[in-house]
Chains A and B, each alone.
Chain A
Amino acid sequence: MNSSLAQDTASSAVDTLTQSYSGKWEGVEGVEQTSQFIQFMASYDLIFVVLGVSLIIWFVLLFYIIKVDKNVTKLEQTIHTTNES
């Protein structure tokens, strides 16, 4: 229900974007023929690109922090085992 609604507005947003910007931005041209994902990303004045960019930064940093966390856990375990023995 919600997704079909979003899709409708998405395709109409893509249309207005190609009409007003097709001469300036070649990347937006022909977006109707591409996949659902590209169409979705190009909707609402490319705001989802900003979302994607912030998510990329977030996940890369998160991945690194989780890696550090695992290393710290390993170090804690070695400290515990040496203290017990």
Chain B
Amino acid sequence: MTVVITAGFLIRIPDIAILEQSARNLFLHVPMWFTMMVMFLFSFYYSIRYLNDETLLWDTKAETATAVGLLFGICGLLTGSLWARFTWGAWWTFSEPRMNLSALSMLIFVAYFILRTAFNDPDKRAKISAIYNIFGVTTLPFLLYIIPRQLPSLHPGAEGNPAFSEITAPELRYIFYPAIVGFIGLAFWIKDIVQRYKALKVVTTDNL
């Protein structure tokens, strides 16, 4: 996994000289959303596993995956905002459906953490947040992939187009795909570290 991340960063450097301008943001901004989606799908899976056998381990795993996914989603929003200022001319536009709907889906997952703090009983908290998480992740494909494609948008992929088509230069792809793999690998690594920390914390607090 570390090799993949390192390669994702090293390959990027020589090829950048060919490409010009902020098109290079493709390697940074787009993988953020892919990574977020993968993390949320994993938390969706963990939530289902929790409801299946009601082991608290699955609940903490779902929480960790959602936290890391939200982290990458916030990165995606901030980078998108910066990129939009210099190519579209505004930090934020309300006529851009994908931008606003992704912000909305971020709010759904912020609400997930607010919901978690509302319960003191861990079993109750785990069950209700698992159900909420399943609902939240189910709305994601609609908010991020279906509705923006039906509406006119400044993003590529609007009005029924595929987002990644033959107009994308092939040089971009050689770096884009390793970048996706690299960022997803990085996300899994962070998730694993946080998960191990939480498991250790449970063990030590039980021993006290």
Contacts and interface: CB of A to CB of B under 8 A. Distances in A.
Interface in B42-99: 71, 74-75, 78-79, 82-90
A79 interface: yes
Nearest to B31: A57
B75 A75 contact: no
A53 B86 contact: no
Contact of A53 (B21, B79, B208): B79
A68 B194 contact: yes
A42 B86 contact: yes
B190 A61 contact: yes
A6 interface: no
A79 B197 CA distance: 13
Interface in A6-33: 25-29
B204 interface: yes
Which among A57, A61, A72, A79 has the highest number of chain B CB atoms within 10 Å?
A57
B74 A60 contact: yes
B86 A41 contact: yes
Contacts of A68: 193-194, 197
B86 A28 contact: yes
B87 A52 contact: no
A75 to B, nearest CB: 6
Contacts of B24: 47, 50
Interface residues of chain A: helix, strand, loop or mixed (majority): helix
Interface string A30-56: 000000001001100111011011101
B187 to A, nearest CB: 10
Contacts, number: 81
B161 interface: no
A7 B115 CA distance: 50
B87 A27 contact: yes
B200 interface: yes
Given A57-B75, A61-B71, A46 B21 contact: yes
A60 B22 contact: no
Contact of B204 (A42, A57, A78): A78
Interface of B: 20-22, 24-25, 28-29, 32, 71, 74-75, 78-79, 82-90, 186, 190, 193-194, 197, 200-201, 204, 207-208
Closest 9 CB pairs of A and B: A27-B89, A46-B22, A53-B79, A45-B21, A49-B22, A50-B24, A26-B89, A49-B86, A56-B78
